[in-house]
Amino acid sequence: AQRVTQPEKLLSVFKGAPVELKCNYSYSGSPELFWYVQYSRQRLQLLLRHISRESIKGFTADLNKGETSFHLKKPFAQEEDSAMYYCARNPGYSSASKIIFGSGTRLSIRP
Amino acid sequence: DSGVTQTPKHLITATGQRVTLRCSPRSGDLSVYWYQQSLDQGLQFLIQYYNGEERAKGNILERFSAQQFPDLHSELNLSSLELGDSALYFCASSVDWKTQYFGPGTRLLVL
């Protein structure tokens, strides 16, 4: 079965410290990987996609096919980064594909 | 604002009852997805519709059903409600199944 694993339910770091949110996926074909973010009392929104290779709000994520990982990183955490982060994947081969979300990691930035 | 709307915002009902949640996708988006977010289960994909037809099914209970109408809005029907059905129900839409835009959610409380 296709899976997305986020091993940490909660990650707490100090402001200014580096952040790494882990995500591993089960390998199948050529998946597309995403990170979604949900700030307090707001809707879920796309943060970034692996194919875009972009940096959003200082966050980057590199797809490592060898390790089947797509960890989200930021060198210096800010208080406004506190949110729930979900890693997600699409199998990438069909319009009927269903996106699969990880269980989420709550990131808490301490002042 | 992603352009996806959901009504109602909050719903309080009793066990055994039936409720209908409504979702209007972004203009032009043919796909609608339904998700359930609960504290213990995280974000769970329920079902996807594409241009009126069911395309993918996730962890949707038999007590739950959905449909997408010709104007592309969708409804999620939850019947014989149980306490454990209390959750936040999200709708998302997409034009190309790759990037999903989420609505604000409907918070359901079953007493």
CB-based contact B2 A34, cutoff 8 Å: no
Q: What is the sign, positive or negative, of the torsion defined by CA atoms of B69, B75, B76, B77?
A: negative
- Of B2, B50, B100, nearest to A99 by CB-CB distance is B100
pLDDT above 60 for A102: yes
Q: What is the mean pLDDT of the segment spanning A5-27?
A: 94
In our burial notation (b when 16+ CB lie closer than 10 A, e otherwise), range B24-63 reads: bbbeebbbbbbbbbeeeebbbbbbbbbeeeebbebebeee
pLDDT above 60 for A31: yes
- Of A32, A86, A95, nearest to B43 by CB-CB distance is A86
Q: If you count them, how many residues does chain B have? A: 111
Q: What is the dihedral of CA A20, A26, A32, A34, to 10 degrees?
A: -30
Q: How confident is the model at residue B1 (pLDDT cuts 50, 70, 90)?
A: low
Q: What is the mean pLDDT of the segment spanning B34-38?
A: 91
Q: How confident is the model at residue A24 (pLDDT cuts 50, 70, 90)?
A: very high
Q: What percent of chain A has pLDDT over 70?
A: 89
Q: How confident is the model at residue B100 (pLDDT cuts 50, 70, 90)?
A: confident
Question: What is the overall mean pLDDT for chain B?
Answer: 91
Structure tokens at B16: 């055994």
- Which chain B residues touch A46 with a CB distance below 8 Å? 99-101
As a three-state string, the secondary structure of chain B is CCCCEEECCEEEECCCCCEEEEEECCCCCCEEEEEEEECCCEEEEEEEEECCEEEEECCCCCCEEEEECCCCCEEEEECCCCHHHCEEEEEEEECCCCCCEECCCEEEEEC
Q: How confident is the model at residue A59 (pLDDT cuts 50, 70, 90)?
A: very high
Contacts 24+ apart (CB under 8 A), B26-31: B26/B2, B26/B93, B26/B95, B26/B101, B27/B3, B28/B95, B29/B72, B29/B93, B29/B94, B29/B95, B29/B101, B30/B72, B30/B95, B31/B55, B31/B93, B31/B94, B31/B95, B31/B97
Is residue A100 within 8 angstroms of chain B, CB to CB? yes
Is residue B9 within 8 angstroms of chain A, CB to CB? no
Q: What is the mean pLDDT of the segment spanning A31-43?
A: 88
Q: What is the mean pLDDT of the segment spanning B82-89?
A: 95
Structure tokens at B68: 């997408």
Question: How many other C-beta atoms can be found within 10 angstroms of the C-beta atom of residue A5?
Answer: 14
Q: What is the mean pLDDT of the segment spanning B63-80?
A: 97
Contact present, B93 and B87 (Cβ < 8 Å): no
- Of A95, A100, A104, nearest to B50 by CB-CB distance is A95
Structure tokens at A17: 């410290």
CB-based contact A97 B97, cutoff 8 Å: yes
A99 or B52: which carries more pLDDT confidence? Answer: B52
What's the pLDDT at A74?
96
Q: What is the mean pLDDT of the segment spanning A48-77?
A: 89
CB-based contact B90 A97, cutoff 8 Å: no
Q: How confident is the model at residue B12 (pLDDT cuts 50, 70, 90)?
A: very high
What's the pLDDT at A32?
84
